[in-house]
Amino acid sequence: EAGTQTCRGPGRAGDPCHLTRPCGSGLSCEAGTQTCRAPGDVGDPCHATRPCGDNLRCVCGDSLRCGFSLGSSVCIPECNDGMSSKIEKMLENGGWEGERTYGEKWHNGVMPYEFHCGLADSEASSIALAIRELEDRTSLRFERYDSRRHANWVIFNNFDKGREIGNYFAQGTGRKIEAGWQSVNINDPFWMVVNEYNVIHEIMHALGWPHTQQRPDRDEYVKINWDNIAEEKKSQYYKLNVTAGEPGSDLWESVQKCKPYNYKSVMHYGGDDEIETLDPSKNELIGQRDVLSTQDIRELQAYFFGPHCDPASVPPSLSFDRAPAPGKVGEYCSLTRLCGSGLSCHLGVQKCYDFPRKEGQPCAAWYDCNAGLNCEAVSQVCETVPAEPTASPVPTTEAPLAPEP
């Protein structure tokens, strides 16, 4: 080795390296730090002197900084082209396999996943950074989907499914009961950098987290200004119905009800217009998307790996012996909690709606119109189907048959 004039073996991971002390097999000497590094994993920084591992590629996640900072490019998984094409074809044919019943826990804290091939690099890199953050902060693990080992998996995508561009959403709370894929949508083409904590928010929905302001005890801590909330957004503020066993009830019973209210959670909404804290000094804490709060990390760890609430220190769980009351409009519904008279359960969002819709009411792919009505493509309103004109009888030109003799 130059400088020390000492015989050295090849550098191991974390050892210093340079021209006269190369790294060992499978390692690279990273420029700048002059340190031996293993190939980058999902969400790790990458560059010319630190390549990504197998089946990964190095992409620029921040076009404003690429070329100026070694940390601005990250390793992302190669997308699954076959699965992407299969799902796209299914959606084109009107199918949406992911719409099922949710609320199950991911086995052993492992979430299998795939990346859809339509993701932009900024979207894919933010998902990779979110995965890295969750793995670094907790014992959760994210594995590439393998049909031989996994029955359920998440597909990270930007399908958007008719919602406005720039929207993020997870398809359900927790793992779905039936085998198959479920969607976590990241669609934000107007920004060169997608916020990784917005992605974590959606991943936590898929892991089983409702919004913090939906906790059963939220009225002790926040005030919901219902008049300022758009009708289609009100379900994001409904309190968790533990009696009905809504997805998230198990999290509440086993972890959250013996922990303080989590003002700083990435799962909490913010904004004075829609929600405000009863303690004015806490108002600036809610709605942040900059970091996993300490309690977010503790809840994730406790839910999947323990310890759970001590039954002696919390109120007894609500009884599930009797059948839950039928759901009203906007309330939770499932295969085991039906909606009230004249309502139907939309299993994709697990809420009761009064559809088929009547004339003049809004409609969409999952809000069908009543018989005799059509969902007008532009206005998205149920309209009467125009009556088809009655065909006039065609006059005959044939001569009448002669009478038989």
Catalytic sites, residue numbers: 202
Q: Which residues are annotated as a binding site?
A: 201, 205, 211
The answer to whether 172 and 137 have CB atoms below 8 angstroms apart is: no
Q: Which residues are annotated as a binding site for Zn(2+)?
A: 201, 205, 211
The answer to whether 153 and 110 have CB atoms below 8 angstroms apart is: no
- Torsion sign across C-alpha atoms 226, 231, 233, 237: positive
Residue partners of 287: CB distance under 8 A and separation at least 6: 268, 269, 270, 271
Residue partners of 284: CB distance under 8 A and separation at least 6: none
For helices 121-137 and 294-305, give the axis angle rounded to 10 degrees.
70
- Torsion sign across C-alpha atoms 146, 151, 157, 159: positive
Q: Is the peptide bond before 22 cis (omega within 30 degrees of 0)?
A: no
One-letter amino acid at 184 equals: V
Residue partners of 149: CB distance under 8 A and separation at least 6: 112
Strands 28-30 and 35-37: antiparallel
- Torsion sign across C-alpha atoms 84, 87, 90, 95: negative
Among 246, 101, 109, residue whose Cα is nearest residue 179: 101
One-letter amino acid at 35 equals: T
